[in-house]
Structure 1
Amino acid sequence: MLMAVVFRFSFPFRASASESEKPPVQVVNPTPTPTPAPKPTPAKPIKKTVVKSPFSLLQFDTRQLSVKNPDVSVKWSSSNQKVCTVTDGGFVQAVGGGTCTISATKTNSAKNSIITYSWNVTVTPLQLNTTKLTLIRMRKGAQLSLNNSNATDSAVWSSSNNNIASVSGSGFVTPHATGTAVISAKWNNATRSCTVQVKNATPTTLTRFRDPRYLSNRGKVVLAGSSLLDHWEDPYTPFGSVAVINNSVPDSTFRNWNNWYKKLIVAYQPKALVLCLGTDDIGDGPDMSAERAADKMQKLIEKIHKKSKKTKIFYLSLPCYPKNSAAWETTRVYNRLMHDFCDEKKYMTYLPLTLKLTDEDEIPDETYYKG
């Protein structure tokens, strides 16, 4: 038997409301992004330039510079690295000749300031006191020096030809033979040179024999010797109307006068000869004992007398120079030996010049000396 089953379903639902009954749609505007406030324009830093006192350096010299408040940022610089270098700590070294500006820029953030300090620097290059030198063979030498006081004694000195001119460790040049040599001084990897020309002695007084004015003085008074008589400012007035010719040659030695005496003395056949020689052999020249110097002087006098027997010879004693105290004792002994020699010769007269230039203790009176 068939049975009909009826299923009833109940679906809870709500009838759609009319459009007029729908709730209003709320429009929500998004929150606007706030516009950031403009950043304030930073104040420009205060800039200032301070010019410091200029200074000079010699090549290879150094100097420490400083600024106030070194704890803040400081930047050091040189406008010319070939003239001066400077470290981060302000240590300046002169490396070459010329001019440059050393600057120190100090930045202070707290005070918003930039201060630049500047120093103008002049550097004098390393150089010798001369680059050319003329010396006379077998005569006095000359002192070379570098313009940096630390350099002369510590430099390495050398000669290109020691047979012509040699140089000591302190730069003293001694001439030996005619020719040319180059003297060099090396210091701090820098080398400076001087060309030395060595000549034979040719005194200008030799030209006098060609001048009739001098030849007319034959038979009068001749002055002969080295610097002492040559520096006699007025050797003529003391002799009154007697004709005088001063044939002295500065820095001349016994060796020189053995070559010159015939022309500078004997040729005149003078009535009187005033002679002073030996200063440039004792002390200033090569080491020479008083005995050896006196022997050379006496032999020269005897040669002069042999060629000019009527000439009366007046010998001036040698002075002791204040700046050459090492030669004083040798000079005193030399004078005593020459005094004894003059006493033995009828044609000789000894003039004790030294006594007039020293005090009672035989110490030179510097008021009588120049330089």
Structure 2
Amino acid sequence: MYADALHTAPAVPAQVSNAAWEEDMQRFAESDARQPPPKHGIVFVGSSSIRFWETLAQDFPGKPVINRGFGGSEVRDSTWYADRIVIPYAPRQVVLYAGDNDLNSGRTPEQVRDDVLAFVARVRRDLPEARISYLSIKPSPSRAQLLPAVIKANRLIKDALAPLPRVDFVDIYTPMLDASGKPRAELFRADRLHMTADGYAIWRKVVAPVLEQR
């Protein structure tokens, strides 16, 4: 069922309007001009949780990782900008984190699932052999009211991606909970949204096994 959805999902859904992201795109282009990233690397794309992963290269030594996160973005934006921040690198793997901004802006869990499928379809169009890994939506304490929607969206996305070849659903939600099932406060900064080094340490441990070996 969901494999068929790849053929019916919009190739480029509506962009979430934010003129500031053009500055991010220009920053990426200037960085590429100064030091071209390796072809066939591993592109990390998505919202601020990716952008603020400043230790990405150190966390995965020997891996040709490329950080193309842009803060405040939603899944649809990574799809919209894929031709500028994913496809040109001809990556062997694409790691996407986005979804909580989407829910916070009013997208439903079903819409976020469909947006993720549209992203997969967009990447597949130009990179049919690339592995695509989706990191589940994290449990941010500042958005506790959204946790039921987060849980539902994660379940829907996991089920939708399960039958797709070379597509992973990576659960970073569960390891960020304490024994009582609540978000671990020490994993988040004072804003209770963005992560501390301890939060990224959990991500590193969970993500490492799914990165392509070459």
TM-score range relative to shorter protein? 0.7 to 0.9
TM-fit CA distance, 1:205: 3.9
Residue 59 (structure 2) pairs with residue 232 (structure 1): no
The structure with the greater share of residues assigned to helix is 2
The structure with the greater share of residues assigned to strand is 1
TM-fit CA distance, 1:366: 0.9
For residues 229-265 of structure 1, the C-alpha deviation after alignment (integer angstroms, 9 at most, x for no partner) is 1111200122211221100000012342232011101
SS of 1:305's partner is helix
For residues 111-151 of structure 1, the C-alpha deviation after alignment (integer angstroms, 9 at most, x for no partner) is xxxxxxxxxxxxxxxxxxxxxxxxxx745xxxxxxxxxxxx
Q: 1:281 corresponds to which residue?
A: 102
Q: 2:113 corresponds to which residue?
A: 294
Q: 2:184 corresponds to which residue?
A: 365
Query: How is 1:69-148 mapped onto 2 (pairs within 5 angstroms)?
Result: 138=17
Query: Residue type of the partner of 2:86?
Result: I
When the two chains are superposed, the root-mean-square deviation of aligned CA atoms in Å is: 1.9
1 CA distance for matches of 2:143 and 2:28? 33
| Cα distance, 1:361–1:290 mapped onto 2, change above 3 Å | farther
User: TM-score by structure 1 length?
Assistant: 0.44
| Cα distance, 1:207–1:227 mapped onto 2, change above 3 Å | closer
For residues 177-230 of structure 1, the C-alpha deviation after alignment (integer angstroms, 9 at most, x for no partner) is xxxxxxxxxxxxxxxxxxxxxx46314244433534553412111100001111
Residue 66 (structure 2) pairs with residue 245 (structure 1): yes
1 CA distance for matches of 2:73 and 2:163? 26
2 CA distance for matches of 1:319 and 1:205? 25
Q: 2:198 corresponds to which residue?
A: none
SS of 1:281's partner is helix
Alignment coverage as a number of residue pairs: 174
Indicate the percent of aligned positions where both proteins have the same amino acid: 19
SS of 1:336's partner is helix
TM-fit CA distance, 1:325: 1.1
TM-fit CA distance, 1:349: 1.3
Q: 2:22 corresponds to which residue?
A: 202
2 CA distance for matches of 1:297 and 1:227? 17
Q: 2:207 corresponds to which residue?
A: none
Q: Which has the higher contact order (CA 8 A, sep 6+)?
A: 2
Residue 135 (structure 2) pairs with residue 316 (structure 1): yes
| Cα distance, 1:203–1:312 mapped onto 2, change above 3 Å | farther
1 CA distance for matches of 2:128 and 2:179? 37
Query: Residue type of the partner of 1:279?
Result: D
2 CA distance for matches of 1:206 and 1:296? 25
Structure 1 unmatched ranges of 5 or more: 1-136, 140-198
Q: 1:215 corresponds to which residue?
A: 36
Paired residues of 1:206 and 1:263 also in contact (CA < 8 A): no
1 CA distance for matches of 2:160 and 2:23? 29
Residue 151 (structure 2) pairs with residue 332 (structure 1): yes
| Cα distance, 1:299–1:254 mapped onto 2, change above 3 Å | same
Paired residues of 2:79 and 2:118 also in contact (CA < 8 A): no
SS of 2:181's partner is coil
Q: 1:254 corresponds to which residue?
A: 75
Query: Residue type of the partner of 2:44?
Result: L
Structure 2 unmatched ranges of 5 or more: 1-15, 192-214
TM-fit CA distance, 1:305: 1.4
